[in-house]
Structure 1
C-alpha cells in the first residue's frame, strides 16, 4: 500500500516496503550480493540509519558504515570502480560529485530526504539572490543543484567548527535547509545566520513532554540528541552531536542506559560498540499524537536486501545515479572545501 507524508504543506507518496523474506531467502540473496560485488568490483557504502542486516553486510564485504561525511570520503578513496550507496538519494549524488569516473548505484533512487525535498532549487536560488551579501552554507542533505549554488557544504559533525571559522572572518551566513540545526549552530557560535525553513521528518518529531516522562521512568539514563531535533529537546540532552559523535559518546559515558533522539538504525553501531548498554528510542509522539516517522526515516527503510541485489544486477535508470556535468563541477567546489576543512580539523 502506498503511504503519503506531508512535509512543509506538500504531500509526498512513499512506495510500499518490500515483502519480508524468509531466513533461507535472505541467505540466498546475500550470497548473490557477495558474488555480484566481486563481479562488478563494487563496494557497499551504507549509512548508520540503514537496517542492521545491511550494515552487517557492508562490514563483512569490505565496505563502509558511516555518517554522510565519512561515506563521502570513503567512496572517493576506495579503489572499487562501482559504489553501491545504501542510504538516501543525496548520498548517492554526493558520491557521484566526488567520484565522476565511478559507477554509482543505489538500491532505489526513490529514497528521498525530507530536508532535500523541503529545499527545492528554484526557491532556494531566489532566496540566495535576495541575500547576496551572505556566504551560502548548505547541509549535506540537499540536492546536487542546491550544493552547486552554495559556497560551502557541511555535515552536522563539523557544522559548529565551520561556522565558527567563517564567523571569525566576519562573514554573515545563509544557512539551509534544517532550521533546528541552523539555530543550534547559531547558539553555539554566535554567528549571524539567516536560516531556510525546513526540518527532518525524523528529528522534528521528538517530543519534549514525552521525553521528560521517559526520563522519569529511567532517571539514571543519559539523553543523546541529534541537533536536527527541536530546541526544547536539545535542551534536555546530556550530549548533542552528529551520528558519529553520538556513537562515540555512548562508548565513553558511564550511564548504562541511553535514551537516543535520532533514527533508531544507529542502535546497531551503538550496540556493537557497547554491548553491555541499553539503548532506547526517544519518544516521537506525545499524548494523542500520531507518529509519522517513529524514529525511523521512511525513505531509508526502502533500502533492503532485495533492492540491493536488484541494484547490482540491473543497469537501469532505477538504480544508477546520474548528474549533469556542469552541475557536478559546480557542486564539487563547496564539497571539496568541506573535505579539506574537515581534514584540517583532524590535524589540529
Structure 2
C-alpha cells in the first residue's frame, strides 16, 4: 500500500457545523416559504435517502423525489422544472449538472461533501491509474466530476456487481475506486481481481462486528441489513446486503418484524414507509463507551437544513453547481456507459 493510500485511510476530516435547531413554528414557516419559492422559481426539490426525514418529507410534499444519487439525477433530468435543488452532497449536485447541463442546479450548501470524494483527489487517483495503463478504471458514483472524467466506467452500488462481472468475463484487469469495502465485497462476489484505491465512507466504516453480534443476541429474531460500504466482518453477519434501494426492498420482503440496519439512519424514513409494521434498529457504530465520529448519520448530509434550502432558493449565489463543460463531456462518457448497460440488462 502506498503512503498516499495509507494517509487516506487514516484521514480525520473536519466536520461541518450542524444546522441551527428550529422549533416547530419555525419549521412550519420555513416549509411554507420553501413551498412558495419552489413554485415561483419553477424548481423541484430532490433529496437523498440519507438527508433528515423532514427534508425527505418536504421533497415528497412538493412533487419532488427521494432516491439514491443516480435516480436523483435521472429524476431531475426528466422533470420539467428549470431549476433543481439537490439536497445531498456535492458529487450528487455535480452528477445532476452533468446529466442536465441546460438546467440550473442548486444545493443548500456546496460545502456538503463526502469522505469518499475527499479521499480520492483526482491528481493522486490519476497518477495511480497511470501506473497501470492496461487496466479498466471503474469508479463509484461517490466521486467528483473530475474523477468520473478519468474513469472508463461509473457504477452505483446497485449495479456495480453486474458491471464488474461483465468486465471480468472479458478478462479486463480492473482498477476500483474509491471505497475499499465495497470494492472488496464486489471482488469476493465476482471473483474478479481488482487493484483497490483505499477510500472509505466514515459512516459505514464505523459499524462494529462485536457490538453487532451483541445486538443480535438481544434481538435474536431480527434480520440484519447491510450496505456493502461496511467492513467485511459486518457484511458477513448480514441477512441482506445491498444498495439503499435494495435494502428498502429487502426490508419489505424479509419476514422479520425487527430489522437491524447498517447504513445511514436517514434511510429509516423511506424504510418505515415501505413497511410501517416493522421496527427499525440502528446497527451499533463505536461500541459501548467509545466516541463515534458519525454515529450512523453523515455529518455533511445533515447540512441540508430548511434554512439552507430557503437561502438557495432566495439567492443562487454561492449555491449554484457549475461543472466545466469539457470536464462534464468527459465525465458523461463513463456515466452513459453505465446507463446504457442498465438499460440493456
Instruction: Please confirm whether the aligned pair reaches a TM-score higher than 0.5, indicating the same fold.
Output: yes
In 1, the alpha carbon distance for the partners of 2:341 and 2:63 equals: 27
Q: Relative to structure 2, which stretch is displaced further, 165-174 or 291-300?
A: 165-174
Does structure 2 conserve the Cα–Cα contact (< 8 Å) formed by 1:115 and 1:178? yes
Structure 1 match to 2:86: 85
**Residue correspondences, number:** 339
Structure 2 match to 1:343: 343
Structure 1 match to 2:147: 146
Does structure 2 conserve the Cα–Cα contact (< 8 Å) formed by 1:134 and 1:173? yes
In 1, the alpha carbon distance for the partners of 2:206 and 2:331 equals: 31
In 2, the alpha carbon distance for the partners of 1:110 and 1:325 equals: 22
Q: Are positions 1:223 and 2:224 aligned together?
A: yes
DSSP-derived class of the 1:20 partner: coil
In 1, the alpha carbon distance for the partners of 2:268 and 2:239 equals: 18
> What whole-Å deviation, never above 9, does each CA across 1:209-234 have from its counterpart, x for those lacking one?
00000000000000000000000000
Structure 1 match to 2:4: none
Structure 1 unmatched ranges of 5 or more: 1-5
In 2, the alpha carbon distance for the partners of 1:307 and 1:287 equals: 34
Post-superposition shift, 1:94? 0.3
Post-superposition shift, 1:288? 4.3
Does structure 1 conserve the Cα–Cα contact (< 8 Å) formed by 2:8 and 2:198? no
Post-superposition shift, 1:28? 1.1
In 2, the alpha carbon distance for the partners of 1:26 and 1:39 equals: 20
Structure 1 match to 2:249: 248
In 2, the alpha carbon distance for the partners of 1:253 and 1:18 equals: 36
DSSP-derived class of the 1:258 partner: strand
In 2, the alpha carbon distance for the partners of 1:44 and 1:343 equals: 26
Instruction: Give the ranges of 4+ consecutive aligned residues of structure 1 lying more than 4 Å apart after TM superposition.
Output: none
Aligned alpha-carbon RMSD (Å): 1.1
Structure 2 match to 1:268: 269
Change (3 A) 1:261 1:11: closer
TM-score by length of 1: 0.95
For 1:13-52, list aligned pairs within 5 A. 13-52=14-53
Post-superposition shift, 1:7? 6.2
Q: Relative to structure 2, which stretch is displaced further, 71-80 or 235-244?
A: 71-80
